[in-house]
Structure 1
Amino acid sequence: MDREPGLSVRLKLTLSYAGLLMVAGVLLLAVVWLFLLRYVPETIYIPPLDTLSGPSPPVVPDRSDLLRAFLPKAAAMLGFLLMFSLLGGWVLAGRMLAPLTRITSATRLTAAGSLSHRIDLEGRNDEFRELADAFDTMLAQLEAHVAEQRRFAANASHELRTPLAITQTLLDVARNDPNLDTRELVDRLHLVNSRAIDLTEALLLLSRADRRSFAREPVDLSLIAEEAAETLLPLAEKRGLTIETAGDITPTSGSHALLLQMTTNLVHNAIVHNLPDQGAVWVTTSAHPKGAVLTVENTGEQLTPQLVSTLAEPFQRGTTRIHSDHAGVGLGLAIVKSITQAHDGTLSLAPRQGGGLRVTVRLPDARYAMGKSK
């Protein structure tokens, strides 16, 4: 925004230092006057002496003589003090504000789009260094967030381009082959289109969770877990899996729709990435003094900690990128992560001993969560 030009902070500090020293000098002179010069009498009486029998009377200065001698020197001292305070204050203010100049330069670089630089202000801890360290931390987080958004945009563009390219290929083949079975073409186009719609809806849901544009309400996480398991039970039975749910009343606060989507994604992921047969999924909820905990475990392939650490990234899949009938679009755990963070919770993933994955979602206490929404 446009502002009118004003005095620099360095000049303001210089004038402040000089003014303070001048006030101190004036007060010092006032003390000299009050406690010393005021006790000197206006005139001093000297008794006459006999010049023939003794020395001449001494010359004793009175108050006017002292004032005539004192005032010029006091004025000269005040002038010297003014010049010294201005020069010293200017140098001192420059040294004091040097870290602020570096912070300002870094801020301008950031405004120009550079996020890789850091202030790295040296020296012992003080207010300027706390500000510089906080700014460096913000830059690091912002750089990581921008890099993540760029990766997400690139992956999303690739994922959205794939069904469009498949559709274009199918239409080209159909145009060049008039004897092609249109029923098969329609079925394949319907499948590709459905996948594109699922991906678009997942992206919109992820954006909604990131914006935190939802109202909070008290919810029972155990009921949400049961609803998600009941919804996906036919898919689990089709794959020969069992789903077990357990847990007492688990109160928390948030969006019922988003928390249901989060739990459904976790259960769906546990079903899809499981053993070919005789697998299992366990969904448990528990209440703790500090909040609510949802745990989803499943049997499956042996996973390495390095692979598990990347599963919550967008478009990351644990095994393969080949799309099956319910393979998803690679955003399931990314959506879970966004919804969890939007509810001020934490998400942790760990490989199960013997194969499979354990996902734990920790949400804050209902009273804390409701307080955050106010």
Structure 2
Amino acid sequence: MPRQPGLSVRLKLTLSYAGFLVLAGVLLLVGVGLFLLRQGWLQTNESGAWRASPGIDFVRGFGPVAAVIMVFLMVFGLVGGWFLAGRMLAPLDRIAHATRTAATGSLSHRIRMPGRKDEFRELADAFDTMLAQLEAHVAEQQRFAANASHELRTPLAISKTLLDVARADPNHDTGELVDRLHTVNSRAIDLTEALLLLSRANQRSFTREHVDLSLVAEEAAETLQPLADKHGVAVETSGDITPTSGSPALLLQLSLNLVHNAIVHNVPERGTVRVHTGARPGAVVLTVENTGERLTPERIATLTEPFRRGTERIHTDQAGVGLGLAIVRTITEAHDGTLTLTPRPAGGLCVTVELPAARGG
């Protein structure tokens, strides 16, 4: 916002220090004068005539000296206050410099202010933490944009190649061409819808309603049962009533993504997916556990990043777009929840979503 020019904080502190020092000197001199006056304002001589007391003479003689002292205190207060204010405000100069550097787009700069803990150093540490988080967020967004561009370019490039081949060979089987174009186009549509869903969840542009997470999980399992039957995966559901607050559509998408991910990342035959809901003090929990290959903690740490896939899909017709767990993480965070991924010792993955329980639930 536009502001009128004013005095610097350093100058204000300097004037404050000098003013306080001069005021203290005035009060001290007044106190000394009053003390001397109380010792005897007037005295009488031997003939009974009134004369000024020695204290009054002292005060009169001390007046010029007091004036010199006051001038000295004022000059000393200005010079000393300017120096002290500069020392005290030096951390703010470093923070301001870091802010200007960050404003130019350089987020790697850190203040790293030395010294013991105080208000300025707490502010500097908080600013460093903010810069680190912002740098990580920007880097993640840049990776996301690059990956999204790559993923969207792939189906478009395939479509162009298919059309070029068809134009070069008019006798080419158009039925096969249409089928392949349909598959590629469907993948591009799925990716676009996933990106829109991810953006919607990030913006938290939804109305919160009362939702029973157990019913949502059961609906997701029933919806994907044909897919599980096709791949020979058994889906088991269990749990209690788990009331929470949020978007029914987004929570259903979260459950669908988890169950779908558990099915397509399973063993080829006789795999298992277990969907369980439960309640904890102040929270509700959805757990989706599946059999599969063994995963390392380092590999699991990357699964919630956009376009990162933990394993190659066994069934290419369900290849997905690489946003399943990224959407789950975003929806969970949009509902003020936590997402935990844990490798199963025998192979596979256990995903736990914990959300705040509905009030009164």
Which residue is equivalent to 2:46?
47
Which residue is equivalent to 1:109?
101
Match of 1:304 among 296, 305, 310: 296
Give the C-alpha shift of residue 67 in structure 1.
3.4
3-state SS, counterpart of residue 32 of structure 1: helix
Which residue is equivalent to 2:69?
77
2:345 aligned with 1:362 = no
Give the counterpart letter for 1:46 in structure 2.
N
Give the C-alpha shift of residue 181 in structure 1.
1.2
Which residue is equivalent to 1:18?
18
Answer whether contact 2:268 2:314 (CA < 8 A) is retained: no
In structure 1, what is the Cα distance between the partners aligned to 2:60 and 2:295? 96
Answer whether contact 2:221 2:235 (CA < 8 A) is retained: yes
Q: Compute the RMSD of aligned alpha carbons.
A: 1.8
Give the counterpart letter for 1:340 in structure 2.
T
> C-alpha deviations, 1:187-210, integer Å up to 9, x for none?
111111111000000001011111
In structure 2, what is the Cα distance between the partners aligned to 1:7 and 1:335? 51
In structure 2, what is the Cα distance between the partners aligned to 1:128 and 1:238? 62
3-state SS, counterpart of residue 366 of structure 1: coil
> C-alpha deviations, 1:56-115, integer Å up to 9, x for none?
xxx985565333202111111111110111111111111111111100000000011110
Aligned length: 358
Unmatched 5+ stretches in structure 2 = none
In structure 1, what is the Cα distance between the partners aligned to 2:293 and 2:314? 16
Which residue is equivalent to 1:195?
187
Distance change >3 Å, CA 352–CA 110, structure 1 → 2: same
Which residue is equivalent to 1:55?
none
1:155-166 correspondence runs (5 A)? 155-166=147-158
In structure 2, what is the Cα distance between the partners aligned to 1:122 and 1:323? 56
2:287 aligned with 1:288 = no
In structure 2, what is the Cα distance between the partners aligned to 1:12 and 1:199? 58
In structure 1, what is the Cα distance between the partners aligned to 2:313 and 2:74? 77
In structure 1, what is the Cα distance between the partners aligned to 2:54 and 2:310? 102
In structure 2, what is the Cα distance between the partners aligned to 1:304 and 1:63? 91
In structure 2, what is the Cα distance between the partners aligned to 1:320 and 1:7? 65
Give the counterpart letter for 1:198 in structure 2.
D
2:22 aligned with 1:6 = no
Distance change >3 Å, CA 212–CA 367, structure 1 → 2: same
Unmatched 5+ stretches in structure 1 = 49-58
Give the C-alpha shift of residue 291 in structure 1.
0.3
Deviates more, 1:338-347 or 1:24-33: 24-33
Give the C-alpha shift of residue 323 in structure 1.
7.6
Give the C-alpha shift of residue 300 in structure 1.
1.3
TM-score (normalised: structure 2): 0.95
Which residue is equivalent to 2:86?
94
Which residue is equivalent to 2:235?
243
In structure 1, what is the Cα distance between the partners aligned to 2:126 and 2:224? 46
Which residue is equivalent to 2:327?
335
1:234-273 correspondence runs (5 A)? 234-273=226-265
Q: How high is the sequence identity, in percent, across the aligned residues?
A: 71
Give the C-alpha shift of residue 24 in structure 1.
1.1
> C-alpha deviations, 1:316-341, integer Å up to 9, x for none?
11222798111210000000011111
In structure 2, what is the Cα distance between the partners aligned to 1:342 and 1:259? 10
TM-score (normalised: structure 1): 0.92
Deviates more, 1:193-202 or 1:346-355: 346-355
In structure 1, what is the Cα distance between the partners aligned to 2:56 and 2:270? 114
Distance change >3 Å, CA 353–CA 215, structure 1 → 2: same
Match of 2:340 among 348, 353, 356: 348
Which residue is equivalent to 1:35?
35
In structure 1, what is the Cα distance between the partners aligned to 2:354 and 2:164? 50
Give the C-alpha shift of residue 215 in structure 1.
1.4
In structure 1, what is the Cα distance between the partners aligned to 2:225 and 2:119? 58
Answer whether contact 2:243 2:357 (CA < 8 A) is retained: yes
In structure 2, what is the Cα distance between the partners aligned to 1:307 and 1:288? 29
In structure 2, what is the Cα distance between the partners aligned to 1:346 and 1:252? 14
2:317 aligned with 1:325 = yes
In structure 1, what is the Cα distance between the partners aligned to 2:176 and 2:66? 106
